[in-house]
Every structure is written in C-alpha cells, then in structure tokens.
C-alpha cells in the first residue's frame, strides 16, 4: 500500500539576503513524503524566486497531481517542472534505497569580505581551502578590491566567485583591474560574469580569470564544451530537474573534460543534506557549494552537521495532502 503526504513550509531568512535585486525575507517550499512496504522517502520542492521558471504555486499544483496519481497506484512520468522533478526523484530514490547515505558535508564557505571571518573556517577545512563570494551586488571596483584583499591575506586560498550575469563588459573589466594579475590564477572560477556567453568568454580571454557556466546550462542548445578559460559547470539540481537529468549533465561535463560542481539553491537543511549525498556520490573529488544554511534562521527535519540553528520538526509544517 502506498501513502503520501505533502507539506508546505516557510523559514525566515537573515536580513540582507538579496536575489536578483529583490530582498528575500522568507524561504518557502514544499516537502513530500512517499511511503511503501515499510520504507519512506522524502523530497524537497523549493523553486528559487528570480531563478526558477516555475512559481511555488505552480510547483504545488504539479506536485499534488503527481502524488495523488502515485498514491492511487499510477506510474506517471515525473512532471516537467524542474523543482518538482528533482524533489520527487529524491523521494523515490530514498524510497528505493538508490540514493547513497554517504554525504559530503564540506562546503565552500560564503564570505562577506572580512578575511578574519574566514580564518577559523578555513583552518578546520580538510584539504583544499576554498571560499565563495557573491559579486555584482555592489560596485565592480569594490568587488575587485575585496577579492584582491582576501587572496593577499590568505596565501593558500582559492576563491569561487558568482556574478549571476550582473556585469557589462566594462564593469567586468573594472573588477579585473583591481585584482593583481599574479593573484588571478587563485580565482578557481567566476560564474557567468556577463549577460552573454560571448562577453563572458571574451572576459576570460582578456583577463586570464577562469569562468564557469551556471545559468547557461538551462538555456536551449547549451553544449558541454571545454573552451579556453572555462572548464567548470555549476549544477543546481533544484533548477535542473530530476536526479537522472543531474546525472546526465555531470556525465556530459566529465566526458568533455570539465569539472561539475553541485551547488545549492538555498534549500532547507533537508534538501541540503540530500545535495551533500548527491555530491559525495556523483562528484566525490569536488567541494560542493552548499554553504547557504547560514542564510536561514532554522533547520528543517534533518540537521546539518555542526549547525547551531534550531531544528524544526513536523509541527512546523503545513499539511496539504
């Protein structure tokens, strides 16, 4: 016999979280629980405002329709809604026992720009010292100065930067001007500096700063091709789709000689813990980009190791099915 529940949740965010020029006061999403034969599987469906094509209401409609059919014995294909397909595929994988339990809880810590805040985090980080900075929220010159300061202050640091296509070619060059050429190789990659792929590739050629594809993966006709200056793809499963599609993208990237990095879309601790398992399974040699729990004010159902945030249980969830 099959049983299923769908829940809605909302977690307050720390003040100051801005996505695509909009302040995110709460993180809202859905959880699904599928049960059969004494086993259960959970999945998270949380479209990211400003990035996901679907709204939470649209995701909810697709989720409820699929879950109702599944509970009644149907074998429907997963919905063509990325966040729903991903969450359901995780729930099914847990139910079937095909999602490995081993997790990679390493995370490139998000840095606010103060080197002192990084020292303790990096000292405890095994292996490669990696941190991430969101750029493009302030003036490009300021971003360049902060990056240069961090690279000078921490000699073995490698930085991942994410611009979310915020810069014109002129602003991207203003950023690069303030990063010393000898420090630029320690920028592991800069995600999508410019609004077009052509401008981003030109930036990489002209500055020697490596770039990575993120938003471009979700555009029609994207091909996994290692080009000069770009050898990394950042895969956000909530924005990508089912686990199978995530596996296909990682395989295509690796076949092209590119590095795939699993990255969060500000999921709850439950979703993040599943991403950590996916990263350990599919990209075991690469530090994932999962350090977004600190943006929230609570954890949900499953704790993230070392987090001091309160852990909310099922009483914090709103039952929908």
Beta bridge partners of 47: none
Beta bridge partners of 162: 134, 191
Task: Quote the CA–CA distance of 65 and 61 in Å, as a whole number.
Answer: 6
Task: Quote the CA–CA distance of 67 and 4 in Å, as a whole number.
Answer: 7
**Structure tokens belonging to residue 64:** 């409820």
Considering 129, 132, 171, 236, which one is annotated as catalytic? Answer: 236
Q: Report whether 45 contacts 30 (CB < 8 A).
A: yes
Q: Residue 85 class from Cβ within 10 Å (0-12 exposed, 13-18 middle, 19+ buried)?
A: buried
Considering 129, 132, 134, 171, which one is annotated as catalytic? Answer: 134
Tell me 297's DSSP state. Answer: S
What SS3 string covers 106-122?
A: CCCCECCCCHHHHHHHH
Task: Quote the CA–CA distance of 279 and 243 in Å, as a whole number.
Answer: 12
How close are the terminal C-alpha atoms of the chain, in Å?
Answer: 16
Residue 39: phi, psi to the nearest 5?
Answer: -115, 160
Residue 12: phi, psi to the nearest 5?
Answer: -65, 145
Rounded alpha-carbon distances, angstroms, from residue 106 to 128, 268, 276? 10, 16, 8
CB 154: neighbour CB atoms within 10 A? 18
Q: Residue 115 class from Cβ within 10 Å (0-12 exposed, 13-18 middle, 19+ buried)?
A: middle
Residues 6+ apart with CB under 8 A from 59: 30, 45, 47, 52, 81, 83, 84
Q: Is 134 a catalytic residue?
A: yes
Annotated catalytic sites, by residue? Answer: 134, 236
């Amino acid at each position: 016999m099959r049983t299923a529940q769908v829940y809605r949740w909302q977690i307050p965010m720390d003040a100051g979280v801005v996505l695509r020029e909009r302040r995110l006061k709460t993180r809202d999403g859905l959880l699904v629980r599928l049960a059969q034969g004494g086993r259960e599987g959970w999945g998270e469906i949380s479209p990211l405002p400003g990035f996901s094509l679907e709204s939470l209401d649209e995701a909810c409609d697709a989720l409820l329709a699929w879950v109702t059919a599944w509970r009644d014995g149907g074998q429907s294909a997963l919905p063509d809604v990325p966040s729903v397909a991903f969450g359901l595929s995780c729930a099914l994988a847990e139910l079937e026992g095909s999602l490995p339990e081993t997790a990679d809880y390493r995370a490139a810590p998000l840095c606010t720009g103060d080197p002192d805040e990084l020292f303790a985090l990096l000292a405890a980080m095994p292996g490669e010292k990696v941190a991430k900075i969101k750029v493009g929220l302030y003036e490009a010159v300021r971003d360049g100065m902060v990056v240069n300061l961090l690279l000078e202050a921490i000699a073995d640091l490698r930085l991942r930067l994410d611009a979310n296509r915020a810069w014109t070619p002129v602003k991207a060059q203003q950023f690069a001007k303030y990063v010393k050429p000898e420090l630029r190789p320690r920028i592991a990659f800069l995600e999508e500096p410019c609004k077009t792929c052509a401008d981003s590739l030109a930036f990489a050629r002209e500055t020697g700063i490596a770039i990575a594809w993120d938003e471009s993966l979700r555009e029609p006709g994207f091909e996994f091709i290692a080009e000069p200056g770009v050898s990394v793809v950042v895969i956000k499963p909530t924005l990508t789709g089912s686990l199978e599609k995530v596996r296909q993208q990682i395989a295509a990237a690796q076949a092209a000689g590119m590095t795939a990095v699993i990255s969060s879309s500000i999921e709850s601790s439950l979703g993040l813990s599943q991403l950590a398992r996916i990263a350990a399974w599919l990209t075991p040699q690469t530090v994932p980009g999962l350090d977004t729990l600190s943006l929230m004010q609570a954890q949900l159902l499953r704790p993230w190791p070392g987090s001091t945030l309160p852990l909310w249980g099922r009483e914090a969830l709103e039952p929908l099915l």
